[in-house]
Amino acid sequence: MPYRRLLLLTGCLVVGVCRAQNPDPMDIRACTAIESDAQRLACYDRATGRDQLPAAQKRSQPAAAVHADIFAHGRQAEVAAAAEPQVSTPLSLLDSRWELSPESKLGTFNLRGYRPVYALPLFATSNQNKEPHSPNPDNTVRAPQQQQNVEGKFQLSLKTKLWQDVFGDAGDLWLGYTQSSRWQVYNAKTSRPFRETDYEPEALLVFDTHYRALGWDGRMFGIGVVHQSNGRGNPLSRSWNRVVADFGFEREGWTVVFRPWWRIPEARADDDNPDISDYIGRADVQIVHEWHGQEFGMMLRHSLRGGRRSRGAARFTWSFPLGGNLRGYMELFKGYGESLIDYNHDATYLGVGVSLLDWY
């Protein structure tokens, strides 16, 4: 093979290798939000075009060795241009979790974090609900339960995109699932039972939005259906279904999601908790602030009624680095509805533990 032709082929190979090893950050930055290692690696391969490379090229010699060959032939400028990193704007908080902008789209069926995932070995209250009740007599406990005021709590929460670009190039359909459990782990007298576990599957159609409101960027709108229940029989059964709207706003370091909802009516005779909207509420707002590696969250919820029907709740959370991906986590809750079985029970709860996934 003539020397010039060999040199040209070698240069093309080096440029291809450099570009594969230094992909455009606009194409790969959203891959960091995927929780599964295998799916995240596949995302990087797709973004860099590595999945399209022939097997021989994927195992090509190290870039440093090829660089030396190119330098020997006076091609330093071309290699430097190919390897120069490109600067891009980081994804916003909402974009990193909901893939709103075109460059953050990752396709369907990638497992993602949703709400915080945590374990609280200590979750304490001074007013444990030992006689859960409801206006429905079939859902009222007649004798006090043997429960301790200190227990454990943990939460799992994941989501995945089922359908991308539902309406042409707009709208993504997401499926989410959240499960939170309160465990009487220190209550040996009653065989350490799970006091309450709430299951919350939902489907949410999410749209990317672009508008300004009082100095905030309106970045997301969603509409979906949410089911929540504790999977128990009477008298401890609790459940309800809602149509929920999400309005997401953000500015540097801050995210606010406002969620009003409408409860889907049920026949009163079959309703475990007919007055649940007057306690757990008809809307909430979630505020998240990131500061120096720490994340602060505040949830505010209200019945949107006055007088004796004016009730609500607030939850404050704080997470902070401990080491690696492990973070400390603290939760303080005051009001009605810390769980479904406590929907009409007013109490204060304090939890301390660790978090594996935060809001953003």
Checking if the pLDDT of 238 tops 90, the result is yes
Q: Are strands 194-213 and 172-183 parallel, antiparallel or unpaired?
A: antiparallel
Checking if the pLDDT of 69 tops 50, the result is no
Checking if the pLDDT of 360 tops 80, the result is no
In the chain, the number of structural domains is: 2
291 and 152 share one domain: yes
- pLDDT value, residue 1: 46
pLDDT, tens only, 194-217: 999 999 999 999 999 999 999 999
Share of residues in the chain with pLDDT > 90 (%):
69
**Average pLDDT over the chain, rounded to an integer:** 84
Residue with tokens 């490379």: 53
Average pLDDT of the residues in 305-321 = 96
Structure tokens at 278: 């007057």
Checking if the pLDDT of 78 tops 80, the result is no
| Domain boundary residue, one of 88, 108, 133 | 88
Structure tokens at 307: 């007088």
Range of the domain at 225: 95-357
Checking if the pLDDT of 187 tops 90, the result is yes
80 and 179 share one domain: no
- pLDDT value, residue 278: 97
pLDDT, tens only, 85-106: 555 567 788 998 999 998 899 9
41 and 110 share one domain: no
Checking if the pLDDT of 239 tops 70, the result is yes
The conformation of residue 114, written as its DSSP 8-state character, comes to: -
Lowest mean pLDDT among 64-68, 186-190, 229-233, 276-280: 64-68
| Domain boundary residue, one of 42, 61, 88 | 88
| Domain boundary residue, one of 88, 114, 137 | 88
110 and 74 share one domain: no
Which CATH number belongs to the domain containing residue 324 in this structure?
2.40.230.10
- pLDDT value, residue 70: 32
Assign 359 a pLDDT band (cuts: 50, 70, 90).
confident
CB count within 10 Å of CB 339 equals 21
pTM of structure: 0.77
CB count within 10 Å of CB 231 equals 12
Lowest mean pLDDT among 9-23, 37-51, 134-148: 9-23
Positions marked active-site = 227, 229
Higher pLDDT, 252 or 60: 252
φ, ψ for residue 99, nearest 5 deg: 50, 55
Lowest mean pLDDT among 39-53, 103-117, 253-267: 39-53
- pLDDT value, residue 10: 44
β-bridge mates for residue 354, sequence order: 119, 328
236 and 351 share one domain: yes
Closest among 143, 153, 150 to 187, alpha carbons compared: 150
Checking if the pLDDT of 231 tops 80, the result is yes
**Alpha-carbon distance 282 to 312, whole Å?**
9
78 and 211 share one domain: no
233 and 352 share one domain: yes
